[in-house]
Structure 1
């Protein structure tokens, strides 16, 4: 796998818009290059949505975000359109970029060794040196951690993903709602009669 400090391998891959895209297309920019297993699967969808939601913040920090998988350009377009994704998706069916970055190989899934895409993210500076590598990425909160580093902070300082917080709040209010309804439906106990 490519390590921090290494020169980032260049590539030329077809994007969801049909254009060939490589590192040379982003002079003076930081490039966030993330590899993911498959379009329209739960974890990959959440990851693409999180990066898409943060695109303005990444742009303000001088960065572009590129997602890479083995999926075809046509499948990328369907994925992009289904979820209204803004992140650029690159097709790498021949594993050219995957292999160059070490993002394909043996991994453990559900306790079994399998060969496939290793979910990983590379922050590449304007000098085309790799600044940071995330390997074996956990999706939730990842885009926020990457943004914190792009802004010059620490990945551990990243706030929790807003989506998780809203889910948590929704779950709490949903849990309280039935209890309130039950209390409202319960008949009032008659006052005890004096003896």
Structure 2
């Protein structure tokens, strides 16, 4: 799989339909007319990804009150996502993209630096999609810790 093109503010958000932790299909189109944060993370139940998911969970009420929904996407299979959702009491959809097609379409899969080496993998990324399906914010190589607080500041939430 080759490196993908990064999205910029104003680009149309690439459409997707992926299975959630219960293997039910969830589409970006389901959120038409609403703002939604779509974030990409490498692997469920790992320390950084758990911290990030719990941060979104803990800030979800304030985000929702501001009219913003949250979706997380990783290459994990639905069964692994279901365990992660149950273990961390996550209250927003986690979607499965094992073939990494959606990750690549959003620029969230490709070369990255890890411990000083160049590797190919999931690029921790966060996007805000506006009510019209356009990218309103695009952040690549975000940190798992403190990211949601920074995002809330950036969005004035």
TM, length-normalised to structure 1: 0.75
Equivalent residue in structure 1 for 2:60, among 43, 50, 55: 55
Distance across 1 between alignment mates of 2:43 and 2:65: 28
Q: Secondary structure at the match of 2:148?
A: helix
CA offset at residue 133 of structure 1? 0.8
CA offset at residue 151 of structure 1? 3.9
Equivalent residue in structure 2 for 1:85, among 85, 90, 94: 90
Distance across 2 between alignment mates of 1:97 and 1:111: 27
Equivalent residue in structure 1 for 2:146, among 141, 144, 149: 141
Distance across 2 between alignment mates of 1:26 and 1:116: 27
List aligned pairs for 1:20-31, cutoff 5 A. Answer: 20-31=25-36
The equivalent residue for 2:111 is: 106
Equivalent residue in structure 1 for 2:70, among 62, 65, 69: 65
Distance across 1 between alignment mates of 2:66 and 2:154: 10
Distance across 2 between alignment mates of 1:4 and 1:127: 13
TM, length-normalised to structure 2: 0.93
Q: Secondary structure at the match of 2:61?
A: helix
- What number of residue pairs does the alignment pair up? 152
Give a deviation string over 1:108-164, Cα, whole Å, max 9, x none: 100111100000001110011101111100122211222233447xxxxxxxxxxxx
Q: Secondary structure at the match of 2:86?
A: helix
Structure with greater strand share of residues:
2
Of residues 131-140 and 44-53 in structure 1, the stretch that sits farther from structure 2 once superposed is 131-140
Query: 5+ residue gaps in structure 2?
Result: 1-5
Distance across 2 between alignment mates of 1:119 and 1:40: 15
Deviating beyond 6 angstroms after TM superposition, the runs of 4 or more aligned structure 1 residues are none
Give a deviation string over 1:67-112, Cα, whole Å, max 9, x none: 0000000000001111111121000001121011010001110011
Structure with greater helix share of residues:
1
